[in-house]
Amino acid sequence: MDFFHAQDKARAKTKWLVLFFLIAVSLIVGLTYLVTIFMVRFMNEDAITHAPQIPWWSVDIFLGVAVIVSGVILLGSLFKVVSLSRGGGVKVAEMLGGRRVDRAPNDLYEQRLINVVDEMAIASGMPVPKVFVLENEQGINAFAAGSTPNDAVIAVTRGCLEKLNRDELQGVVAHEFSHIFNGDMRLNVKLIGILHGILLIAMIGRIAMYSGGRSRSRESGGFAVLGFALFLIGYIGVFFGNLIKAAVSRQREFLADASAVQYTRNPIGISNALKKIGGFQNSQVRHPEAEEASHMFFGQGIRNFLGLFATHPPIDERIRRIDPRFQGVGKGQAATAVAASGAAMGFGGDGGLSASPKTISDSVGNPLPEHVAYAHQLLAALPEQRLREMREPNGAKAVVYGLLVVPESDPATILHANLQREDDNMKVRVIEQLGWLKRAGRAARLPLIELVTAALQELNPDAVEPFLENVDRLVRADGKMSLFEFTLVSLLRHSLLDQRPQHGKKEWPNFDVLRTDCARLFSLLAYAGHKDPVDIEKGFNAALEYAPLDGPWQMQPKAVLSLEVLDTALRRLGRTAYAFRGRLIEACVAAIAADGKVTVAEAELLRAIGARLDCPVPPLLPGRI
């Protein structure tokens, strides 16, 4: 899967959704006008001749109906879209009755779910999603929701937790991660908002119908008839909305199934999960809001009439594409994906890593089974008690502080001098972390940051700024900032301060501003990977061969490359089209690989840049850099 093309394609589909939405609104306006003019003519009959006094076509009535109906629909849709966008995936999960799972749960089923989600996040280089459980749902189902990978949510039903084994659960979670990588997640949330306005017409009609039915007067009876008509018209709109959802969702489910197999190299896991859904005949989500989100679920979330509004392909067909034995002949699409997956990152026979711009770019949003196995082994190697501690906010803070002082000869003195508004227990807790952090090694540093940021997002908002100020003091304690420290601070700021998604039209500054931003990024990478002036210039020029913009280019002095300047540059570059960001990732790889090698610090920086651009780069595996 081409991550960058898939993301831009999903954005383009939004335009088609808007077009279909406008067609549905026009149809609803026309039908509402016909009902209204009929009722007006009925109410204005001549008492003697019984002839209507109002013609069938009235510009004034039509304009009034058009303004009121379209206004209700558009405002309802706009309100829902903005509401869901501001709340990210959390808003959708809560709308469906979800309960956020504690990062260090006591429930064994939930602990297994957290481990599986963490593994997939580390394997893909994506920020760890927030995890929710639909506690009252016994059907086997799940969904991903959010506007960006940084505010994504993975939610599963209680039935999914209790009826699936670990491999099956991993297949379901990998399926949902695929929806994040290929842009479906953002598209699905927008679809909820767009269709909400149409549903409002049916709700208004229901209210009018019941209100008018309480009186026996002719006017009230007419009002009840009008309400009943609006109720039917609203559901005609819902009819077309469901057709749109079905058209958008069905083929995407096949892709997500195949991607899940590619990530895990375990077709049995997801196919058995689907077989259990078929065997139990139960993937239903019974929450009242499930209709609005039916297109987001792993399995068919609501009942449908003869499959007409099915948002998912038939279970049997999905299984046959994954498990050829289920059909008895042929080979499934997912099996082909498994066979091809080993070449995606360029692993050679000698175990080396081909760190070329194209192979790294192709790996974005395409983690391999090797990455999943690496993430599983990394989590299994961490002390269980320490892993539980870092999954709660104070333990996560202690790990961050520990990572910053673990190389120092006298960490206790540095902590005492620079940790402000933290009690002595925190300082003791940090010292306790240093032993196992040293043993974990340099390659584990970035995955540890990815794990703790999920817990840090649960900090009280008033505690975020003091925490970041402490981090800044520890970074500057020795008067300089290392590549790792830059990486850590950049990721923390992005995770804790840039969580709210951007709204409205994506910012596209003039090309001179973007070119300067790119030049600053390329210059940073050239300085990071090389010391000799000739090699630095070589690294910068290597990036220009893949630059997403034409020149003129000018290398930036090292003195101007402050954290604040680069932070602003990355924020702007993160709002460009995904195709632009794809080229940018390739240019970054070219800059650090110009000397033929990629160090751990360079790999960490590259992956941090990918995270800032919402383009998750999988780990460059230890021993293959």
d(CA 112, CA 349): 34
Q: What is the pLDDT of residue 236?
A: 73
Q: Which residues, including other chains, have CB under 8 Å from residue 167's CB and lie 6 or more apart? A: 266, 268, 269, 272
**In this structure, what token pair is assigned to residue 402?**
């520990």
What one-character DSSP code corresponds to residue 556? Answer: P
Contacts 24+ apart (CB under 8 A), 100-109: 100/130, 100/131, 100/132, 101/131, 101/132, 101/133, 102/392, 103/391, 103/392, 103/454, 103/455, 103/458, 104/388, 104/389, 104/391, 104/392, 109/161, 109/162
Q: Cis omega (within 30 of 0) on the bond before 552? A: yes
Under a CB-based contact definition with an 8 Å cutoff, are residues 125 and 145 in contact?
Answer: no
The 3 state secondary structure assigned to 476-515 is HHHCCCCHHHHHHHHHHHHHHHCCCCCCCCCCCCCHHHHH
Q: How far is CA 76 from the centre of its chain?
A: 24
Strand partners, 52: 45
Name which of 89-103, 130-144, 250-264, 426-440 the model is least confident about. 250-264
| Cβ proximity of 195 and 292 under 8 Å | yes
Cross-strand partners of 131: 154
Position 221 scores a pLDDT of 56
Lowest-pLDDT choice from 140-144, 203-207, 566-570: 203-207
Q: State both tokens at 356.
A: 């070329």
- Does residue 540 have a pLDDT over 80? yes
* DSSP at 308: T
| pLDDT above 90 for 544 | yes
Question: Which residue, 542, 394, 515, 516, is CA-closest to 460?
Answer: 394
Give 486-519 pLDDT, tens digit per residue.
Answer: 899 989 988 888 754 444 445 556 888 999 999 9
Q: What is the mean pLDDT of the chain?
A: 81
Per the annotation, the verdict on 176 as an active-site residue is yes
pLDDT at 203: 75
What is the C-alpha to C-alpha distance for residues 180 and 126, in angstroms, rounded to an integer? 10
pLDDT at 520: 94
The structure's pTM equals 0.79
The reported pLDDT for the residue numbered 305 is 52
pLDDT tens readout for residues 228-283: 777 777 777 767 777 777 766 766 788 888 888 888 888 888 888 888 887 755 77
pLDDT-derived band at 473, boundaries 50, 70, 90: very high
The pLDDT of residue 336: 35
The whole-number pLDDT of residue 479 equals 85
Whether residue 539 is predicted with pLDDT greater than 50 in this model: the reply is: yes
Name the band, by pLDDT with cuts 50, 70 and 90, for residue 166. Answer: very high
Lowest mean pLDDT among 65-79, 178-192, 217-231, 255-269: 217-231
Q: Pick the residue with more confidence: 347 or 298?
A: 298
Give the pLDDT confidence score for residue 156 in this predicted structure.
95
pLDDT tens digits along 442-468 = 878 888 998 999 899 889 888 999 999
Considering the candidates 119, 137, 176, 450, report the single residue annotated as catalytic. 176
Q: What is the residue type of 274?
A: L
Q: Which residue has the higher pLDDT, 346 or 471?
A: 471
